[in-house]
Amino acid sequence: MKSQDPNKEHLQSIINLYTEGRLQQALSESNQMLERFPNSVILFNIAGASNVALMQFDAAIENYKKALRIKPDYADAYYNMGVALNEKGDPEAAIESYKKALRIKPDYVKAYNNMGVALNDKGDPEAAIESYNKALRIKPDYADAYNNMGVALNDKGDPEAAIESYKKALRIKPDYAEGYSNLGASLQLLNQTEQAVASYEKAISLKKDFNTAISGLGKALLKKGEHSEGLHKLRQGEGSILFNIKSGLSIK
């Protein structure tokens, strides 16, 4: 089958709905347009992205499969299907989908990044680190890959190396709130409490309602002996976790 897409103006109007967050309308208009253009891979891709954002993962996966039946070498559809599968809680299937995208497009840095996240979710930080390194060989200034490598290194039990990775991310992206929060968590593991507090405070200054960083700051303040303020921050925040940054969907 050959892809037959609507004109650029029609496609752009639907893409605009998606980017503006009017997801149900974007999905509805994509489905209506597919009645007229049943072989449009771009429409199936936009419908899939809308379904992912609406947390309708099975519907999204079906959209991507239909796109791939029309265009088997559609790397973005395999990549987006990987996003849907990982969000659905199936990292192994997501990894296979990212690998298919990479066989078609070997320099697909977002696929290497997200595959690393899925590998780490699956409990294989070594393979995740290898995937992030491949992304960084293609794009040396990829702050998200350095941040995510820090998470994998921390999970592997090497907070010192994780700290170095977060610092590289922050040199590239100085306003990276998630990087500062993750750095604070690793510093806390090494009992570098003063530095952890400073890192959490920097994260919160960049992202005011960053509950994870607020909670981490609370724990660090308690460790410092500042019980009243520490408890206040803990109540304000939520359970502290490390932040992987996944690359977004590809809408083309």
Over residues 185-224, the pLDDT tens digits come to: 999 999 999 999 999 999 999 998 898 899 899 889 888 8
Q: Is 3 left (phi over 0), alpha (psi -120 to 50) or beta?
A: beta
Q: For position 232, what pLDDT does the model report?
A: 75
Q: Where are the domains of the chain?
A: 7-70, 73-124, 141-252
Q: For position 209, what pLDDT does the model report?
A: 86
Q: For position 89, what pLDDT does the model report?
A: 93
Q: 141-252 has which CATH code?
A: 1.25.40.10
Q: What angle do CA 151, 84, 35 make, to 5 degrees?
A: 155
Instruction: Name the residue among 94, 91, 26 with its Cα closest to residue 54.
Output: 26
Q: For position 251, what pLDDT does the model report?
A: 66
* CATH superfamily membership of 73-124: Tetratricopeptide repeat domain (1.25.40.10)
Q: How far apart are CA 149 and CA 152, in angstroms?
A: 5
Q: 7-70 has which CATH code?
A: 1.25.40.10
110 pLDDT above the threshold of 90: yes
230 pLDDT above the threshold of 90: no
2 pLDDT above the threshold of 90: no
